Amino acid sequence: MNTQAPEARLNRTDGAVEIVAVFETIQGEGPFAGSPAVFVRLAGCNLRCPACDSLYTLGRNFITPLELVESVRVRRPSGLVVITGGEPYRQQLGPGVLALVQAGFGVQIETNGSLYWEDFPFDLATIVCSPKGAIDRRLEPHINAWKYVISADAVDPTDGLPTSALGMPTPPARPQSNPPGVRVYVQPADAQDPETNMANLKAAMHSCFQFGYYLSIQTHKLLGLP
């Protein structure tokens, strides 16, 4: 059970962001699955999903955009940077993303979609939205991919998407439009139980077969990576 308390939006004027970890791994989910990447896990989240398996409140410290670039570069000199959390859009990411792109990195943001920054440079990053409830619809035109966590006992038969994600009480938001190239991924929930996980995987595959979604299976966990 996730006991990390929800936190309010954080807006610093110096561009610094609060992080808990920077590490090299293989992106195991979504549109960049299989890509070597540096993950930047930001501190805090505006939600508290009961079944969330990420630690995003321990060992936190602030770093400037320049320090962010250097922290990434010592792990990989180029390639993909995935900014995750917690909830990345709890903080003002624009200066850090701009610094990473100017240094030659590609950037992916993993967001629950519930927060929005008017001045974020959306054209510089790939936005993957994994809703856990309602989203801020101003974000939707900038979303490049949707990702839904599937549990076998919580699937809507009319669209094959979850009626609840990670134990949250309300159904996760659905796309209101279907622009070309914006994929929907379904990912079996990791219940830490082989039998339940197999049922979740079968439910996710069924949604793919029936509705044409793309399967995401957390490849990094199969590889024993963070």
pLDDT at 176: 95
Instruction: State which residues of the chain have pLDDT below 70.
Output: none
pLDDT tens readout for residues 119-152:
999 999 999 999 999 999 999 999 999 999 999 9
pLDDT at 178: 82
pLDDT at 1: 87
DSSP string, 13-76: TT--EEEEEEEEEE--SGGGTT-EEEEEEES--S---TT-----SSS-EEE-HHHHHHHHHTT-
pLDDT at 196: 97
| Beta strand extents in 178-219 (DSSP E only) | 183-188, 214-215
Beta bridge partners of 185: 147, 214
Statement: the pTM of the whole predicted model exceeds 0.85:
yes
Task: Give the Cβ contact number of residue 141 at 10 Å.
Answer: 10
Distance, in Å, from the CA atom of 77 to the CA atom of 67, rounded to the nearest integer, reads 14
Domain locations along the chain: 17-222
Topology classification of domain 17-222: TIM Barrel (3.20.20)
pLDDT at 94: 97
pLDDT tens readout for residues 87-111:
999 999 999 999 999 999 999 999 9
